[in-house]
Amino acid sequence: MSDLEVAVVGGGPAGALVAALLARDGHDVTVFERSPAYRWHACGVFASPAARAALRRVGLDEATLARVARPIPAMRVETPGGAAFRLTYGGAAPVGFDRSALDPALLEFAVAAGARICTGSRVEAVTLDDARPELTVRTASNGPERHRARLVVGADGGNSIVARAAGVARPARLAPRVGLTFHIADRPGDPPADARIRVFRDGYVGIAPVPGGRVNVGIVLGHAWAGELAARGAEAVADAVLADIPVISGAAGSPADPAAWRRGERLDRVAGASPLGHRVTRRAGRNWLLVGDAAGFLDPFTGEGLHRAIVSAELAARAATAALGGSSRALAVYDRQMRRHFAAKDVVSWLVQAFLERPALFEYAARRIEARGPVRETMGLVMGDLVPASRALDPRYLGALLRP
């Protein structure tokens, strides 16, 4: 049994950043990351301009940002009925992240700040009911270890063992959905292309250019696809979705040789994820807190995951420093801050999901966003986390969006 000050469960973006910020404040931080090295898995790559600004704010240098992020002119949304509109985020460029470069870079950032990173270390059990939480960890050499910590940070995604140990994990209030994601070859040096979201029957596909001459494809499928997935398999279904994407000048998926792109030269395996979304009743307790996807997330249509991960790490680091310094209220304050920061955006995300589940309603709204410039501009700013999400809930805005 060893004693730790802060144990971070999970070494993704949120876990790496909270570890870096706490270590920079002089705390002893240990990160337990189950993978021995980075491996491709289903995760978000498209992010709002606010996410890149937040990475600058926490101290990531410009050279690293240039290596891991590819600027994108806009997000183009396309509906089954033919409506299409571009979200330009007020002229600020969203980005496509190379997660195989971003995630290791953030762990290196944490190491440089003084955090200890234990890769290949799977946390198998967490006990939070004592004054000092305990963790059981299976190491890379397959040996079990036990650790006590003053504070445990759950940064271990939607199936967070920390959230389950705290008894706060709940399923998302969404119809079951499956996510498929992979990269295909792009032509390095092609002019910047818009990212795209194309909605189809009970699903949608997102396409985002990322660094390294690649395009990320993320497909979300509802229950209507369950039989086809079971009968044909994920790769065949992904190929069929890719083949139905039309070529549009200036948009991702429209290179000089569309036929080659449609053949889908995959650069990695098709990774799956299900369920897409989960929620928690609280994000902090007496000796624990949750960050990133572990703190709750929704179906990724709106692309808010990476920005939320960074902001949650910043807020959590401040709260943890105060709690470790003796404040009895700091972690409860963190929970309230997270609710205040993201409550309105969560409502907007729920509304988007409600419209997606009603194709005629989604088509109606898309036609009006397409035709009404001020409505479209505000939507881009809200989705990009550049203005308060409450603007999209203002009755005057909703009236402008929905009136005939």
For residues 217 and 196, the answer to whether their CB atoms sit within 8 Å is no
For residues 278 and 19, the answer to whether their CB atoms sit within 8 Å is no
Quote the number of domains for the chain: 3
SS3 75: strand
Name which of 336, 254, 352, 253 is nearest 298 in CA terms.
Answer: 352
In a domain, 355, yes or no: no
> Do 112 and 233 reside in the same domain of the chain?
no
Which of 273, 294, 321 is where one domain is finished?
Answer: 273
> Do 300 and 257 reside in the same domain of the chain?
no
Beta-bridge partners for 255: none
How many other CB atoms sit within 10 Å of the CB of residue 294? 32
> Do 250 and 305 reside in the same domain of the chain?
no
CA distance 228 to 224: 8
In a domain, 341, yes or no: yes
In a domain, 158, yes or no: yes
Residue type (1 letter), 368: R
In a domain, 79, yes or no: no
Name which of 148, 156, 272, 285 is nearest 218 in CA terms.
Answer: 272
What confidence score (pLDDT) does residue 174 get? 76
Angle (CA) 336 340 346, round 5° = 120
> Do 204 and 220 reside in the same domain of the chain?
yes
Angle (CA) 281 283 287, round 5° = 120
Q: How far apart are the first and last CA of the chain?
A: 66
CA distance 158 to 294: 5
> Do 45 and 114 reside in the same domain of the chain?
yes
How many other CB atoms sit within 10 Å of the CB of residue 289? 30
CA distance 114 to 25: 10
**Phi, psi at 2, each rounded to 5°:** -110, 155
DSSP string computed for 230-295: HHH-HHHHHHHHHHTPPP-TTBTT--S-HHHHHT--BSS--EEE-S--EEES-SB-SSEEE-GGGG
Which of 241, 273, 305 is where one domain is finished?
Answer: 273
Beta-bridge partners for 4: 149
> Do 194 and 295 reside in the same domain of the chain?
no
> Do 284 and 136 reside in the same domain of the chain?
yes
How many other CB atoms sit within 10 Å of the CB of residue 36? 10
CATH number, position 63 = 3.50.50.60
> Do 122 and 19 reside in the same domain of the chain?
yes
In a domain, 392, yes or no: yes
> Do 283 and 339 reside in the same domain of the chain?
yes
What confidence score (pLDDT) does residue 255 get? 45
Among all chains, which residue has been given the structure tokens 């409505």?
Answer: 375
Rg for the chain (alpha carbons), in Å? 21
Name which of 353, 361, 222 is nearest 299 in CA terms.
Answer: 353
> Do 187 and 316 reside in the same domain of the chain?
no
* Helix, strand, coil shares, percent, the chain, to 5: 40, 25, 35
DSSP string computed for 9-29: E--SHHHHHHHHHHHHTT--E
> Do 42 and 6 reside in the same domain of the chain?
yes
What range does the domain containing 150 cover? 2-70+94-174+275-349
In a domain, 60, yes or no: yes
Per-residue pLDDT of the chain (404 residues; tens, 9 = 90+): 789 999 999 999 999 999 999 999 999 999 999 999 998 888 889 998 899 999 999 999 999 999 999 999 999 999 999 999 999 998 888 999 999 999 999 999 999 999 999 999 999 999 997 788 999 999 878 778 999 999 999 999 989 999 999 999 998 877 788 999 999 887 666 667 889 999 999 999 998 889 988 889 999 999 899 999 999 999 999 988 988 888 776 565 554 444 455 555 788 889 988 877 789 999 999 999 999 999 988 766 766 789 999 999 999 999 999 999 999 999 999 999 999 999 998 889 888 888 988 999 999 999 999 999 999 999 999 988 899 999 999 999 999 999 98
For residues 196 and 206, the answer to whether their CB atoms sit within 8 Å is yes
In a domain, 192, yes or no: yes
Which of 273, 298, 318 is where one domain is finished?
Answer: 273
CA distance 143 to 154: 22
In a domain, 213, yes or no: yes
> Do 371 and 344 reside in the same domain of the chain?
no
Residue type (1 letter), 402: L
